[in-house]
Structure 1
Amino acid sequence: MGEIEGIYTIWLREMKRFLRYRSRIVTSIVTPLLWLIIFGTGLGASVRFGGIPGGYRAFIYPGIIGQTILFTSIFSGVSVIIDRQYGFLKEILVAPISRPSIVLGKALGISTASMIQTTILLILSFIVEITMTPACFITTMILSLIISLGFGGLGLLIAAFTDSMEGFNLIMSFIVLPIFLLSGALFPITGLPIWLKNAVYMNPLTYGVDALRYIILHRSVFPLAINILVVTIFAIIMVLLAAFMFNVKEQSLM
Structure 2
Amino acid sequence: MNAVAILLYRNLVASIDKVFLVWQVVFPIVYIFIAGYSYSALIGEGGVPVGSAFIAYPAYLAAGMIGFNMMNSSTIAGSIIWNDKRNGMFQQILVMPFARMEYIAGSIITIMLMGLASAGLILVAGTPTLVGSAVPTLVGSMYVLYALITGAIFFGSIAIIISTRLKSNEGFNVIVNSVFLFFSFVSTAFYPTQGVPGALSTAFYFNPLTYIVDITRAGIFNQIDFFTNVEVGIIAAITAAAFFLATLSMLRMKI
Q: Which TM-score band (shorter chain)?
A: 0.7 to 0.9
1:21-60 alignment, distance < 5 Å = 21-50=17-46, 55-60=56-61
Residue pair 1:210, 1:221 contacting (<8 A) in 2 also? no
Deviation at 1:33, TM superposition (A): 0.8
Q: Which amino acid aligns with 1:32?
A: P
2:222 maps to 1:218? yes
1:17 aligns with 14
Deviation at 1:137, TM superposition (A): 4.8
Residue pair 1:44, 1:56 contacting (<8 A) in 2 also? yes
Counterpart CA distance in 1 for 2:171 and 2:45 is 41
Deviation at 1:126, TM superposition (A): 2.2
Name the SS for the 1:77 alignment partner.
helix
Normalised to the residue count of structure 1, the TM-score between the two structures is 0.87
Q: In 2 relative to 1, CA 142–201 (structure 1 residues): closer, same or farther, beyond 3 Å?
A: closer
RMSD, matched Cα: 2.4
Q: In 2 relative to 1, CA 161–229 (structure 1 residues): closer, same or farther, beyond 3 Å?
A: same
1:223-242 alignment, distance < 5 Å = 223-242=227-246
Residue pair 2:136, 2:220 contacting (<8 A) in 1 also? no
Residue pair 2:143, 2:215 contacting (<8 A) in 1 also? no
2:81 maps to 1:80? yes
Counterpart CA distance in 2 for 1:53 and 1:202 is 25
Give a deviation string over 1:144-178, Cα, whole Å, max 9, x none.
12210110011011000122332211111211111
Residue pair 1:15, 1:109 contacting (<8 A) in 2 also? yes
Q: Which amino acid aligns with 1:61?
A: A
Counterpart CA distance in 2 for 1:87 and 1:68 is 30
2:170 aligns with 166
Residue pair 2:71, 2:152 contacting (<8 A) in 1 also? yes
Q: Which amino acid aligns with 1:37?
A: F
Give a deviation string over 1:204-242, Cα, whole Å, max 9, x none.
111001000101123478622222222222222222111
Q: In 2 relative to 1, CA 6–132 (structure 1 residues): closer, same or farther, beyond 3 Å?
A: farther
1:7 aligns with 4
Q: How many percent identity over aligned positions?
A: 23
Residue pair 1:118, 1:141 contacting (<8 A) in 2 also? no
Give a deviation string over 1:26-70, Cα, whole Å, max 9, x none.
210010111111111111111125266861111112211111011
Counterpart CA distance in 1 for 2:137 and 2:89 is 41
2:97 maps to 1:93? no
Counterpart CA distance in 1 for 2:80 and 2:175 is 15
1:98-113 alignment, distance < 5 Å = 98-113=99-114
Residue pair 1:54, 1:128 contacting (<8 A) in 2 also? no
Q: In 2 relative to 1, CA 49–63 (structure 1 residues): closer, same or farther, beyond 3 Å?
A: farther
Normalised to the residue count of structure 2, the TM-score between the two structures is 0.87
Counterpart CA distance in 2 for 1:241 and 1:81 is 17
Q: In 2 relative to 1, CA 228–54 (structure 1 residues): closer, same or farther, beyond 3 Å?
A: closer
Counterpart CA distance in 1 for 2:55 and 2:212 is 21
1:65 aligns with 66
Residue pair 1:122, 1:137 contacting (<8 A) in 2 also? no
Deviation at 1:179, TM superposition (A): 0.8
Counterpart CA distance in 2 for 1:125 and 1:64 is 9
Deviation at 1:90, TM superposition (A): 0.3
Name the SS for the 1:234 alignment partner.
helix
Consecutive unaligned residues of structure 1, counting only runs of 5 or more, are: none
Residue pair 2:11, 2:107 contacting (<8 A) in 1 also? yes
